[in-house]
Amino acid sequence: MPDIVQDPTGLEVVLTDECWEHIVSRHPELLPFKELVLEAIREPIGIYEGKRDPSRRIYKKSYSEVPGVGNSLDVLVFLGDDGKHIATVYLIGYSIRMLGRLVWPTI
Amino acid sequence: MAYNLVQKFAFDRMEYFYDPIGDVLDISFGPSAPSVALQVEDWLAIRISVTPPSFQGLTIVGFRKIFQKIHGYVEHDLSKRMKRLAHTSLLISISYDDQSDTLIVRFTEQLFGWRRFVEKLFHRARSMPSIFERLSNHPEDPLNNVYVEKTLPSKQIVGVKILEFTKTGPAAIEGFLGAMVDSIFEPRAVQDENAHLIANALISKLDWPKLGRLVA
């Protein structure tokens, strides 16, 4: 059963079971944190367009602690080219360059 | 205090997983393990495993689009590189010396089988002189303290040296990785030549025919 969540702009984002299985097979640290991923869609601190690929939406949410993984981590959720389905997710500890253009919240 | 970390990348253990729908490529050295990413740019993440800390792999989001832009770097000598790749591993050593506050990263290819025997037999003859070139000459640029080591006369990149590492190291590493990205997308960047060579040296290690089949 796919998870469908709405982001702050009203967009409905889909996380299929198949996609989640693929994500956790490559990023096993996320296995206990599916809800955290969905929360990053529902309540992100920022939604961006990709710098090199503006058609790709990126959601970012910061956490002071992700149990068993580390402190001060950001969750990045990438949508696919269809702008609806989640393509991949991972945790970042440090970002060298800013994400692309901020599309939400609008300034 | 001084230290020397060495990590070996055996290419026969490299695994690719490409999701053609999401256009996401995950490259792993060995089995997947819990990791946290260093985000170089929004399409490229370097994954570092949590325990023990080691280079776990790369994630490239939008690989098909990126791949189309950078494939040209290695196309002309692809078959030669792929033949060699199957018998090669890459040894990366990271050394820091607090007396000189210098970080040195060196890449050494290791050969297997009869190629290794030949390598050892002619080791002296294969030793090559090298030079260090500054990555940027601009006094305000953090890359001012970054030098690339090149063999002579082939000018193959074999290492990177960062001076005043405790003061400028993080900014230099950021600038260095950024310069590599710029050399791919914005080839007129100031420090293009060396950054391009380094990016090329790393990109050339990938199994492009296999990647090509994956994204076809």
In terms of residue numbers, what domain contains A100?
3-104
Closest residue of B to A25, CA-based? B32
Distance CA B144, CA A59 (A): 35
Interface probe, candidates A27, A51, A73, A103, chain B, greatest B C-beta count within 10 A: A27
Distance CA B155, CA B51 (A): 37
CB-based contact A53 B17, cutoff 8 Å? no
User: What confidence category does residue B126 fall into, taking pLDDT thresholds of 50, 70 and 90?
Assistant: low
A80 sits in which H/E element: none
pLDDT digits 0-9 by tens, B147-202? 888 888 777 778 888 898 888 887 887 777 777 777 666 655 555 566 666 666 66
Count of domains observed in chain A: 1
The tokens describing B147, both together, are 């030098």
Q: Which residues contact B209 (CB under 8 A, 6 or more apart)?
A: B78, B82
The tokens describing A69, both together, are 């993984």
Tell me chain A's radius of gyration from C-alpha atoms. 13
Distance CA B82, CA A61 (A): 41
B2 sits in which H/E element: strand B2-10
Averaged pLDDT of chain B: 73
pLDDT digits 0-9 by tens, B4-16? 777 666 666 677 7
* pLDDT at residue B73, rounded to an integer: 47
User: What confidence category does residue A53 fall into, taking pLDDT thresholds of 50, 70 and 90?
Assistant: confident
Closest residue of B to A53, CA-based? B62
The mean pLDDT of A25-52, rounded to a whole number, is 95
User: What confidence category does residue B115 fall into, taking pLDDT thresholds of 50, 70 and 90?
Assistant: low
CB-based contact B38 A94, cutoff 8 Å? yes
Q: Which residues contact B177 (CB under 8 A, 6 or more apart)?
A: A96, B40
* pLDDT at residue B167, rounded to an integer: 84
| Domain ranges (residues) in chain B | 2-210
Give the three-state DSSP class for B212. Answer: helix
Closest residue of B to A96, CA-based? B40
CB-based contact B42 A91, cutoff 8 Å? no
